Amino acid sequence: MTTRLVEGSEVVADAMVRAGCRFFAGYPMTPFTEVLEHMATALPPVGGVCVNAESELEAVGMVWGAAAAGTRAATGSTGQGLSLMQESIAEASLAGIGFVVLNMARGQGDYFQATRGGGHGDYRTPVLAPSGPVEVAELMAEAFELADRWRNPVVVVGDYYMAHTWVDIETPGEVPEPPPAPEWSLDGHSGGSGAAKLVSPLGTAKRRDGVGYDLAAHYEGCAQRRREMTAGITPRAELVETDDAEVVLVAYGTMARYADAAVSALRSEGHRVGLVRPITLWPFPEAQVKAAADGSAGVVAVYENNAGQMIDDVRLSLLGSSPVVGLNSFATDSSAFGIAPDVTVENLTASVRELLSEFGQDAT
């Protein structure tokens, strides 16, 4: 193995290819653009296909088709492009078609878009939030496994920081073969005998059966599948120094890296501060947040680069058992790419000191 200096976007692309992704479609938009460029380079040598689509609408449509044919597939964009894709993400969930959607956000204003979605119907999508390029490699394989297992779109959240951070990373060995197409997938025939069938948001049927779709049974099946998926995915979080923490920070993605560094700095001065970093944003790690807060926390502080979104999930986790405050008023720079110059370890450390003086006891 050799170590290379690699852009975060390339780490994301490599992780998808290694996870078996063989079809990718998208439309350029910062900070998603470089992922699309790297996929265009990485897929053809392994027999895959990458398409720069006319727009995000076509991109997700192509991915829906590829996934229905049994190919591991993915798309992505940033907020606006993902808004366009919401209808198809919802329909794919109802059709039982799984693929991966990269939500390369500008800041964290698209937390609700990622965790709730804007599509129709009684659907949810699992959401994974790596803290940076290093964790992407691990979580991407899991994202495709979840998409296959639950036949449901899965969202992986990144941002400009992750896309544009170059890291020294060991180049992994040979790219493994993708898994075979699942039994339910389409093979180009919609009639006849055997496995030939239709897959649609209205259900799965054989055209020759001539009885049409049973919508009642289908939606009941969708609801049952969603219940099983909700129960079947273990919520994950990383807990840093939460045992005796008087201030428990909650942060995901890039913001968690600032929070982690702030916890180190404050702990080295004797302050009792901890961090819960949700890794799955849906299902949300409610038990972990509750356990961390029930230790000795005077206050739970949600550090997010938006006007307050994940704080709702934190409040739902605690059901009023601890005070919850938001640390989330940041100016953004002129790029509008979600870079907030005042998001620094120093500023966060100062904010936590204020909380300690209000909610905590003197430093030990």
Partner 1 sequence: MFLIRRTVYHSLVEREILFTGIGGQGVQLAARTLAEAAMADGRRVQLFASYGGMMRGGNSDSFLVIADRAITLPPVVGTAWAAVVMHHEHAADVWAKLRPDSIAIINDSVVEPNSRPNNSAVEVVEVPALDIASEVGSPLAASLVLVGALVARTDLVSADALLDGAAKVLPSYRSEAAAVNREALAAGLKIGETTHPAWELSVA
- Interacting residues with partner 1 (CB under 8 A): 3, 5, 30, 132, 160-161, 164-168, 234-242, 254, 257-258, 260-261, 263-264, 267-268, 279, 288, 291, 333-335, 337, 339, 341, 343-347
CB of 99 to partner 1, least distance (A): 25
Indicate the residue among 67 and 163 with the shorter CB distance to partner 1.
163
Minimum distance from CB of 156 to partner 1 (Å)?
A: 18
Q: What are the angstrom distances between the C-alpha of 358 and each of 267, 330, 354?
A: 18, 22, 6
Task: Indicate the residue among 39 and 259 with the shorter CB distance to partner 1.
Answer: 259
CA distances from 114 to 22, 39, 126, 165 (A): 23, 22, 9, 22
Smallest gap, in angstroms, from Cβ of residue 241 to partner 1? Answer: 6
At its nearest, how many Å lie between partner 1 and the CB of residue 349?
A: 9
Closest contact distance (angstroms) between CB of 160 and partner 1 is 8
Q: What angle do CA 359, 361, 363 make, to 5 degrees?
A: 125
Least distance (Å) between residue 219 CB and partner 1: 32
Identify which of residues 3 and 361 has a Cβ nearer to partner 1 in the complex: 3
Partners of residue 275 on adjacent β-strands: 240, 249
Q: Which is nearer to partner 1, 67 or 263 (CB)?
A: 263
Our CB check for partner 1 shows the closer of 268 and 364 to be 268
CB of residue 260 vs partner 1: minimum separation in angstroms? 8
CB atoms inside a 10 Å sphere around CB 57 = 15
Instruction: Decide: 176 and 18 in contact? Cβ < 8 Å.
Output: yes
Rounded CA gap, 293 and 276, in Å?
Answer: 9
HSE of 178 in the Cβ direction (CA atoms, 13 Å)? 23
Structure tokens at 16: 């998808």
- Cβ proximity to partner 1, 185 vs 264, nearer residue: 264
* Tokens found for residue 165: 């951070």
| Continuous segment of H or E residues that includes residue 203 | strand 203-205
- Segment holding 26, helix H or strand E: strand 23-26
Cis peptide before 130 (omega within 30 of 0): no
> How far apart are alpha carbons 307 and 117 in whole angstroms?
18
- Nearer to partner 1 among residue 168 and residue 183 (C-beta): 168
